Amino acid sequence: MNLLNISDQQTDIPAIQNSCNSNPFVKFVFTQQTDIPGIQNSCNSNPFVKLVFIKFVLILFLFFPFFLSAQNISIIPLPKSIVKTNGLFQLNSNTIIGMNSNSLLPQAHYLQKELQKTTGMFIEVDPNEVKALIDLQLVKRDELPGSYTLKIEPNKIIITSSGNEGIFYGLVSLLQMLKTQPVGAIVNIPACEINDAPRFQWRGFMLDESRHFFGKEKVKQLLDWMTFYKLNKFHWHLTDVDGWRIEIKKYPKLTSIGGIGNKTDSLAEAKYYTQADIKEIVAYAADRFITVIPEIDMPGHATAANRAYPEYSGGSINKYPNFTFDPANEMTYQFLADILKETNSLFPAGMIHLGGDEVALGIQAWAGKPAIMDMMAKNRFTSLADLEHYFFRRMADTVIGMNDKILCWDEAAETDLPADKTIVFWWRQNVPSQLQLALQKKYQVVLCPRLPLYFDFVQDKSHVSGRKWVGTFNSVSSVYNFPYKEFPADQLQSGQILGIQANIWTELVGSEKRLDFMIFPRMAALSEAAWTDSANKDENSFNERLRSDFVLYDKAGIYYFNPFDLSMHPEAIDFAPKIIKPSIREKHHKRGHKSKLNGRHTKGNHTKAKQHHPKASGKRKTKHH
């Protein structure tokens, strides 16, 4: 007797009905009918063939879930080792999550919530359950922070680590194994043992929200994807020329005036994050073991702040009005110290990024202010660079006084800062001497060179909006293969190089659609570059695993770039197509702030940076990196 009614091919068993509808072989087993003429004719004419074929398909049907699952353990970033074993763990509503320490309750509840979203099942959390089927265990062992072991057996899942962070990353890997599973009453997870640890402790991503503002919900979505890819540092660029995006209660005009406008509309309504917003986002990130690092840019890129409080401006030159803070005004230092203290109270990271980049673009304005020239003469400074370094050291002392570390772009490596309190971000791939200088001074370093880790660079030669460097762009492959062989292994392993970070500047990114297009899937490539040891990396394997993530992007409404099918998602362009070529600008730009002084005036000639932003009435002209 057939389980399926031959006449209408209907059944009350959903799994069989679905299989018969989608698989002609399974349909034949249960109905003895098929739409494949060769099989139907052979079975009609030869009962033995029919019997053998039915048995074969039954075996295939029974064991196919195991074969399918075992071949598709798809995790990004790739773990150190995955050993497949026999069997399947069946996740169902009777599964209980347990732990050997109540400190793991937040991680257990995170897993509970994510499993409900992923599978539709509510899984109980019980710290006292001795027979828990998913067991989280803190153990004493010597290992890198973030290391974990995930062991999946037919009757139990055990995640062990020496710290909560490692337990969390084990949960993330477990959840990744479920990412393509259908929602249902039972989910089969292939048995295996995963041993894993991160290559770098700094796995960062930076978002610029001064040029264009995206808001709290978008930031949370990005934090979720950072979690999915085991990235752990969110660098938040909140102040620059086009807008001030962080509420400072002592100076409300920073947001009421400085928050007005963006890169493409100088009169757009003020947008910024309240202190309540920031606390919410910081807590959200902390639950996911992501540290949020604020950047308050100084002494350059200060235009938005100077619009609000012009008394602290260092003056203007043609293309860079009010670009710097005034180093000769003592109240400038108090103003910025107050800002840093409020900022520090919102971010428990123990570090603040002070910028320190591209001061040369507007520093010649200092030479036109008598008070600044008097200060230089009094302190016997021989160049504007000396004054810049003086300014930066004073503000660094403020940060150190709050027991925080100073983070800065690579120009600030020239300043004498305490090595044990300083982290330098090397971004100028064309100036390797700055990296070597930072290492020689014993600063810790984060690698974030424009090539290949600036996500505002285009990612395919056909793209027409974004940055290129002498024709070079930042493909998914180039991100994946960083750090390159040019970096000596001893430097990468010395401990001075903390890790890597990708940055996205948003001059040409005005919408969530384009933001997604520029970030995904390069964020996935970044994660494997930052987490997986170079000896374990396999780009072909990565590409296969990446394809399965596209299903998740689609489900989440992410408009991503598909490097395997360029026609799938055409380039998202917010403004008039424009290729920015920073190499040309920098070729013509001379560091006028190194000009030697002659009495009260500088002798050197400061060549203006080449303008590379759209010319439009009422739009501020700026650049970055």
In a domain, 624, yes or no: no
β-strand partners of 293: 235
Q: What pLDDT shows up at residue 611?
A: 31
Q: What pLDDT shows up at residue 581?
A: 86
What span, in angstroms and rounded, lies between the C-alpha atoms of 132 and 182? 24
Q: What pLDDT shows up at residue 59?
A: 47
In a domain, 591, yes or no: no
Q: What is the pLDDT of residues 469-492, one digit of tens each?
A: 988 999 999 999 999 877 777 777
* SS3 of the chain: helix, strand, coil, percent, to 5: 40, 20, 40
In terms of domains, do 167 and 260 share one? Answer: no
Nearest to 512 by CA among 75, 220, 174: 220
Mean pLDDT over 579-598 rounds to: 59
Write down the catalytic residue from 212, 235, 237, 301.
301
Q: What pLDDT shows up at residue 493?
A: 75
Query: Which of residues 69, 95, 111 is at a domain's end?
Result: 69
In a domain, 596, yes or no: no
The DSSP string of 527-559 is HHHHHS-GGG--HHHHHHHHHHHHHHHHHHT--
Nearest to 361 by CA among 612, 108, 38: 612
Mean pLDDT over 515-526 rounds to: 99
Q: What is the pLDDT of residues 415-442, one digit of tens each?
A: 999 999 999 999 999 999 999 999 999 9
Q: Read off the tokens for 148.
A: 């974990």
What span, in angstroms and rounded, lies between the C-alpha atoms of 309 and 268? 19
In terms of domains, do 208 and 78 share one? Answer: no
In terms of domains, do 154 and 292 share one? Answer: no
pTM of the shown model: 0.85
In terms of domains, do 162 and 252 share one? Answer: no
265 given a catalytic annotation? no
In terms of domains, do 446 and 553 share one? Answer: yes
- 425: three-class secondary structure by DSSP: strand
Phi and psi angles of residue 298, each rounded to the nearest 5 degrees, phi first:
-165, 155
Decide if 381 contacts 390 (C-beta within 8 A).
yes
Q: What pLDDT shows up at residue 183?
A: 72
Q: What is the pLDDT of residues 51-89, one digit of tens each?
A: 555 555 444 444 444 333 334 799 999 999 999 999 999
In terms of domains, do 404 and 333 share one? Answer: yes
Write down the catalytic residue from 196, 358, 410, 528.
358
In a domain, 595, yes or no: no
Q: What is the pLDDT of residues 386-419, one digit of tens each?
A: 999 999 999 999 999 999 999 999 999 999 999 9
Please give the mean pLDDT across all residues of the chain: 87
Q: What is the pLDDT of residues 141-181, one digit of tens each?
A: 999 999 999 999 999 999 999 999 999 999 999 999 998 77
Residue at token pair 């497949």: 84
CATH number of the domain at 143, please. Answer: 3.30.379.10
Element (H or E) spanning 298, and its range? strand 291-298
Write down the catalytic residue from 208, 240, 326, 357.
240
Q: What pLDDT shows up at residue 582?
A: 85
- Choose between 341 and 6: higher pLDDT: 341
Q: What pLDDT shows up at residue 142?
A: 95
CATH number of the domain at 338, please. Answer: 3.20.20.80
In a domain, 550, yes or no: yes
Dihedral sign, CA of 393, 399, 405, 407?
negative
240 given a catalytic annotation? yes
Q: What is the pLDDT of residues 341-368, one digit of tens each?
A: 999 999 999 999 999 999 999 999 999 9
| Residue % of the chain over a pLDDT of 70 | 82
Domain span holding position 172: 73-196
453 pLDDT tier (thresholds 50, 70, 90): very high
In a domain, 20, yes or no: yes
In terms of domains, do 180 and 258 share one? Answer: no
358 given a catalytic annotation? yes
What span, in angstroms and rounded, lies between the C-alpha atoms of 284 and 299? 31
Query: Which of residues 196, 224, 257 is at a domain's end?
Result: 196
Q: What is the pLDDT of residues 297-324, one digit of tens each?
A: 999 999 999 999 999 999 999 899 999 9
Nearest to 425 by CA among 404, 440, 407: 407
What span, in angstroms and rounded, lies between the C-alpha atoms of 425 and 92? 47
In terms of domains, do 191 and 239 share one? Answer: no
In terms of domains, do 353 and 439 share one? Answer: yes
What span, in angstroms and rounded, lies between the C-alpha atoms of 243 and 443? 31
Q: What is the domain count for the chain? A: 3
Q: What pLDDT shows up at residue 512?
A: 98
In terms of domains, do 480 and 371 share one? Answer: yes
**Alpha carbon distances (Å) from 90 to 176, 204, 317:** 16, 35, 68
Most confident of 141-150, 178-187, 572-581, 599-608: 141-150
Q: Read off the tokens for 124.
A: 């109980």
In a domain, 7, yes or no: no
Residue at token pair 């970030």: 519
In terms of domains, do 237 and 168 share one? Answer: no
Element (H or E) spanning 512, and its range? helix 512-519
How many of the other CB atoms lie within 10 Å of CB of 41? Answer: 11
How many of the other CB atoms lie within 10 Å of CB of 589? Answer: 17
Mean pLDDT over 436-463 rounds to: 97
In terms of domains, do 289 and 319 share one? Answer: yes
- Lowest pLDDT segment from 159-163, 182-186, 199-203, 599-603: 599-603
**Alpha carbon distances (Å) from 366 to 313, 324, 394, 465, 492:** 10, 9, 18, 35, 39
Over 60: is that where the pLDDT of 605 sits? no
Most confident of 14-28, 35-49, 84-98: 84-98
In a domain, 227, yes or no: yes
- Choose between 593 and 397: higher pLDDT: 397
